[in-house]
Structure 1
Amino acid sequence: PPTMSINNDVDVVRERTAQDTEETAPLLQGAVLSRARGASFASSVFNLMNAIMGSGILGLAYAMASTGIVGFCILLVLVSSLAAYSIHLLLKLCDQTVWCDYGLFFFLFLNKHSISEPFLFSRFSAMSSYLFILKSELPAAISSLLSADSPGNAWYEDGRLLLIIITLCVVLPLSLLPKIGTLSDPQACYLFFSCVVVVKKWSIPCPLPHNITSLSGAFKVRTAFLSSAYAIPTMAFSFLCHTAVLPIYCELDRPTKARMQKVTNIGISLSFLLYFISALFGYLTFYAQVESELLLSYDAYLPRDIMVITVRLAILLSVLLTVPLIHFPARKAAILMLFGGRAFSWLIHIAATLTILCVVLILAIFVPDIRNVFGVVGSTTSSCLLFVFPGIFYLKISRQPLRSFDSVGAALLVVFGVIMGVTSFCVIVITWAKSS
């Protein structure tokens, strides 16, 4: 790349690569910047938004109900700005080390197995959230398509049973493929979701009818302080895209750090807009009765609405096809962590696929509320990948003096991530204890 300041960093990469074992060296050499030029600015923004947009959008209205509109706006601006700044630090490190893989920054001061661990946990959490959506939304989708005279307590109203069937019949066969392409377009799906939330704001009376109560009644047994502990982790979960940023940078046409930073700023800003609109209109529709998963809130008031049914089916299809896509890098990270650079083996491939799906399926079946997924994952894995690790990497790898602006910013980013993660996780555990 024309603006890469490689200097002696190339020698550092070569020395570290030369000291590696045969199974790790190809990994490092493949991650040194070898750009497939041709991706336009607009397509890069599109790809970044696809990496950002995810199931977190379903929980942001609940977060706004917990913190209030003003508090939510402040926190969402804070988290999105810090996400953009942490990407800025990663891009600077990418230029200095000529490495275009987030995981390989771990290799500079940790052993090779640590390359895979953070991504494995993040993929597990993402798959758990998507399978949980399948468990909660499939029964509602099927019920909305059937007549109102259908008998209750039918087998298709059991979300756990439906989840097991769908996992065995659809997710497992797709996940067993050794290679998999792009199966879904989550960005378009969540854009449609935002539009439906806005339109349906005017279809439900305000105030809500007193004879209809929330499906879960979660707000009856909680305080605003305890529930706000889920807000920042949910936002961190929603803006986590850092593992995809550097590969997008590699493929950008005329790659420069400034150009990629513009891609980042526009992608995060547009995602911020969709997130905020969905959260605001979802909250203004249901207020304190909003569910931790927004779509479930419509079942009590618009059980057979065509637009709600359509967006529900669109999200279910997107989620169903996205799980195998997330499973592919999770399986690759697990095999790399356990077996290194061993040649492809169907036995290992099938065993890893079944093990990962079983673990994720068990988590999705027994977790009672999706806010627990957002809260725990956001306060642990997401906060580390979004705040803590980029700051630590910059402080340890960058040649900038410790008193420089970015070094101070990286240190503050680490402090914020640690405090936010530990505090949120502790408060969430307290919430569980009080609920039990």
Structure 2
Amino acid sequence: MAQELNSEEGATLVPPKKASREPISSMTSASFNFINSIIGSGIIGLPYALNQAGLSLGLLLLVVVGFITDYSIILLIKGGNLTGTSSYQSLVQSTFGFPGFLILSVLQFLYPFIAMISYNITIGDTLTKVFQRIPGVGPDHILAERHFVILLSTLLFTLPLSLYRNIEKLGKVSFLSMVLTFIILVIVIIRAATLGPQIPPTENAWVFAKWNAIQAVGVMSFAFICHHNSFLIYGSLERPTLANWSRITHVSVGSALVISAAFAVAGYTTFTGYTQGDVFQNYCRNDNLATFGRFCFGLSIITTFPLECFVAREVLSKVFCSRDLSNLEHVAITFLIVAVGAAISLAYDCLGVVLELNGVLCATPLIFILPSACFLRLSPGRWFHTENLIPAILILIGLFVMITGLTMTSLYPQDCSHGVEMFYCAEPNVTASVPPA
């Protein structure tokens, strides 16, 4: 079997002497790209995940999700080597045929599409508070209206950027998002030290566990999913061996886990039981440093939105068209995806529930179930053999998280602030603790 992969999405394994490859990447460069693909907008919901699960259990679950992500990514590449495939779609189709390809396509469409909805909700809630720091813009101003801000950002930014046909034109986005994420992390840590002591913790702030832990796993899965980029990064390596890939995966997921845990702890310990799905909803309007953080996060969301639209559009085109889309088809499908996502985000504004649903419905099967199922299908041994036991357990865990998480999210939806100023912002001691940035 050939040992090298073409780095183009959807290509098959080719002998190294018979086909040229895309520009190669060093292990350091590949690790950086992988960390970028993991740490994205989903990090903003991790303090909320700790609020759902409890601080101690939440951190434990975050580590577990990190380890499972690491393990399942390596399983994907093992499955690709066994089948001679070099993409998630081709691996599942080779293993389970067209029904498997169809199921994966549905999940791979729903995940970025629901993510786009969550981005719109975040833009509406975040930028309205940024605009209210402009002199003359009050709570009754049109720029403080989330529906108007969502429509404005869609028409001026996210829709035009989403119309690009070539994802390479958005290549600088990952670096920009990484820089913005680091700035946001620093701001959250600073406010944990300066603002946190002024907000009394809720009654059950430091309990080991809470009943909504399964829903928290969904949010964490949403934050950690990066499997759609795995084959691309693996194929770009100078020496794409399983040993090199394992080292890159361990370093990348481990680094992302440390950053995510720091952000989650800093955000949760500041607001404890008051923590919202978008942690920036917890900061007061007169907090200039937090306003700068909101601006950075809003910019990051706007620049990341087109990448999710690109994935959703590509999935639809592969399922319904056997050829490249014409310019008219490209524009029509892009407009339809963006318009439907915007319409849903205008009608619903609870970010925490959206993150939970995307996590349990889409991210969990993409991380827990499908990579393990492919490996078990391809492995010659029985399920209870040592090599196959962990994938079998992951499938059971994934099914449990999906069913239980969906049930609890439906029966016990969490309260949301919907962009309303938090009550403690009216207290003099809190206001006094927020000096101008």
Scaled by the length of structure 2, what TM-score is found?
0.84
1:180-225 per-residue CA deviation (whole Å, 9 max, x = no partner) reads 3224232222122111111122221524279xxx9xxxx9xxxx85
Distance between the aligned counterparts of 2:34 and 2:28, measured in 1? 10
Match of 1:201 in 2: 192
Q: CA deviation at 1:2?
A: 7.8
Alignment of 1:143 onto 2:126: no
Match of 2:226 in 1: 241
**Structure 1 residues 226 and 153: alpha-carbon distance in aligned structure 2, compared to 1, 3 A threshold:** farther
**Structure 1 residues 261 and 201: alpha-carbon distance in aligned structure 2, compared to 1, 3 A threshold:** same
Distance between the aligned counterparts of 2:359 and 2:97, measured in 1? 24
**Structure 1 residues 205 and 388: alpha-carbon distance in aligned structure 2, compared to 1, 3 A threshold:** closer
Q: Is the 8 A contact 2:27 2:248 kept in 1?
A: yes
SS at match of 1:110: helix
Match of 2:314 in 1: 332
SS at match of 1:402: coil
Match of 2:255 in 1: 270
Match of 2:434 in 1: none
Alignment of 1:160 onto 2:147: yes
**Structure 1 residues 405 and 330: alpha-carbon distance in aligned structure 2, compared to 1, 3 A threshold:** same
1:41-190, aligned counterparts within 5 Å? 41-108=27-94, 109-111=96-98, 113-114=102-103, 116-144=105-133, 146-147=134-135, 150-180=137-167, 181=169, 182-184=171-173, 185=175, 186-190=177-181
1:285-335 per-residue CA deviation (whole Å, 9 max, x = no partner) reads 1122222211111125xx232x32222222211211111122112112112
Distance between the aligned counterparts of 2:336 and 2:282, measured in 1? 34
Alignment of 1:431 onto 2:408: no
Distance between the aligned counterparts of 2:254 and 2:57, measured in 1? 19
Match of 1:321 in 2: 303
SS at match of 2:164: coil
Distance between the aligned counterparts of 1:432 and 1:73, measured in 2? 22
Match of 2:375 in 1: 394
Match of 2:287 in 1: 304
Match of 1:11 in 2: none
Q: Is the 8 A contact 1:230 1:371 kept in 2?
A: no
State the AA in 2 paired with 1:402: W
Which ranges of structure 2 fall in alignment gaps of 5 or more residues?
Answer: 417-437
Match of 1:18 in 2: none
Q: CA deviation at 1:160?
A: 1.2
The farther-off stretch of 108-117 and 417-426 is 108-117
SS at match of 1:255: coil
* Counterpart pick for 1:39 among 12, 17, 25: 25
1:17-32, aligned counterparts within 5 Å? 30-32=11-13
1:155-177 per-residue CA deviation (whole Å, 9 max, x = no partner) reads 00011111111101221122222
Distance between the aligned counterparts of 1:238 and 1:36, measured in 2? 29
Q: CA deviation at 1:398?
A: 2.9
SS at match of 1:206: helix
Which ranges of structure 1 fall in alignment gaps of 5 or more residues?
Answer: 7-25
**Structure 1 residues 313 and 334: alpha-carbon distance in aligned structure 2, compared to 1, 3 A threshold:** same
Q: Is the 8 A contact 2:39 2:224 kept in 1?
A: yes
**Structure 1 residues 248 and 392: alpha-carbon distance in aligned structure 2, compared to 1, 3 A threshold:** same
Distance between the aligned counterparts of 1:324 and 1:27, measured in 2? 18
Scaled by the length of structure 1, what TM-score is found?
0.85
1:404-435 per-residue CA deviation (whole Å, 9 max, x = no partner) reads 32311111110010001110110111114999
**Structure 1 residues 74 and 107: alpha-carbon distance in aligned structure 2, compared to 1, 3 A threshold:** same
Q: CA deviation at 1:403?
A: 3.7
State the AA in 1 paired with 2:127: L
Distance between the aligned counterparts of 2:172 and 2:255, measured in 1? 23
**Structure 1 residues 401 and 272: alpha-carbon distance in aligned structure 2, compared to 1, 3 A threshold:** same
SS at match of 1:45: helix
Aligned length: 398
State the AA in 1 paired with 2:308: I
Alignment of 1:382 onto 2:363: yes
**Structure 1 residues 288 and 74: alpha-carbon distance in aligned structure 2, compared to 1, 3 A threshold:** same
State the AA in 2 paired with 1:174: L
Q: CA deviation at 1:342?
A: 2.3
Q: Is the 8 A contact 2:9 2:86 kept in 1?
A: no
Q: Is the 8 A contact 2:83 2:91 kept in 1?
A: no
**Structure 1 residues 65 and 117: alpha-carbon distance in aligned structure 2, compared to 1, 3 A threshold:** closer
